[in-house]
Amino acid sequence: MAGSRAGAEEPIVDWAGSGVGVWHEDASGNWVDMPFEAPQVQKAYKYEMLCIVNNQNDVDPACIARANCDAGKDGRPVRWFERFLAGPPDVWSPIRPDRCVYTEDPADVLGRIAAQIQRRFEQLPVNAGISGIQPTPHTLRGAETNFYAEASEQTFNVIMLGQKVAIIAKPVQYRWNYGDGTSLGPTTTMGGPLPQDRWGEKTGTSHAYAQTGDFNVVLTTYFQGTYSVNGGPALPIPNQGQFSTAPQTVSVWRSVTRNYADDCITNPSGQGCPGATATKGR
């Protein structure tokens, strides 16, 4: 949905065809989108192992039998708890149903997964999305070339230390390397496509090349991740993962303006006329 600041005029809105990005004209007449913020961690989590007896040194077979775990795979029930970070530090609520961890030592395996999850997240084949370019594949020197990102949330199911781990990667920030030594970001602004009649206008993610030539543009998308062990709660992955697109080549050309004494009716072979031999250059 689109919105505007209190007291501001209703913005001119243009939805992207893919549903990505909402644009409006700011006070300076530039086209900018409505950025979204990176998700904030609002809850803390902890767990306790169930069916423990004899000062944590043994398990209760009857309790294990009542749990919905596969005892043949060393299934051990675990109860997760959550609390709001903004609330009292000692008020925890159980997350039901209880979950199973397939090891004789759930505390050890869950701790090891937590220690390894960042590296596993960064090794996933996360699709960085695409970098849209307007106009493409050619643009003009000194003109504003509009860049925008299209990236989506992705889910991966992996096995870690014998446990089923679901990892969700959500795009939260973007960085463009424009290929001419300049870059933008990381920023939460993903940009968005403009109507063709507005190509060349400045946007929050556009760039004007000062030189002609071929430039390789690379989009890097920053993803925030969560992971869930055996269907348990979605736990935050500490740091973002960075994933880049393959380079896209943008050819920057120069425009030349000339004045002529004749029109194409008087001189059909004049430059720019249908009867002329076309030439191009940068």
Q: pLDDT in tens for each of the 282 residues of the chain?
A: 333 333 334 433 333 333 334 444 555 555 555 444 444 568 899 999 999 887 666 888 888 888 888 867 889 999 999 999 988 989 999 999 999 999 989 999 999 999 999 999 999 999 999 999 999 899 999 999 999 999 999 999 999 999 999 999 999 999 999 999 999 999 999 999 999 999 999 999 999 999 999 999 999 999 999 999 999 999 999 999 999 999 999 999 986 556 666 677 777 776 666 655 544 445
Judge residue 100's burial from the number of C-beta atoms within 10 Å of its C-beta, 0-12 exposed, 13-18 middle, 19 or more buried: buried
For residue 27, the tally of other CB atoms under 10 A from its CB is: 8
Q: Which two tokens stand for residue 71?
A: 């005892």
pTM: 0.77
Tokens, residue 37: 């913020």
How many other C-beta atoms are found inside a 10 Å radius of the C-beta of residue 135?
14
Question: Quick one: three-class SS letters along the chain?
Answer: CCCCCCCCCCCCCEECCCCCCEEEECCCCCEEECCCCCCCCCEEEEEEECCEECCCCEECHHHHHHCCCCHHHCEEEEEEEEEECCCCCCCCEEEEEEEEEECCCHHHHHHHHHHHHHHHHHHCCCCCCEEEEECCCEEECCCEEEEEEECCCEEEEEEECCEEEEEEEEEEEEEEECCCCCEEEEECCCCCCCCHHHCCCCECCCEECCCCEEEEEEEEEEEEEEEEECCCCCEECCCCEEEECCCEEEEEECCCCCCCCCCCCCCCCCCCCCCCCCCCCC
Place of tokens 């060393």: 74
Determine the Cα–Cα distance for residues 60 and 98; give it in Å rounded to an integer.
16
Q: What pLDDT score was predicted for residue 279?
A: 44
Give pLDDT, residue 248: 96
Taking Cα atoms as reference points, which of 234, 205, 228, 177 lies closest to residue 39? 234
Q: pLDDT value at position 59? A: 84
CA pair distance 248, 221, nearest whole angstrom:
15
Distances (CA, A) of 249 to 96, 133, 152, 199, 209: 52, 10, 23, 19, 13
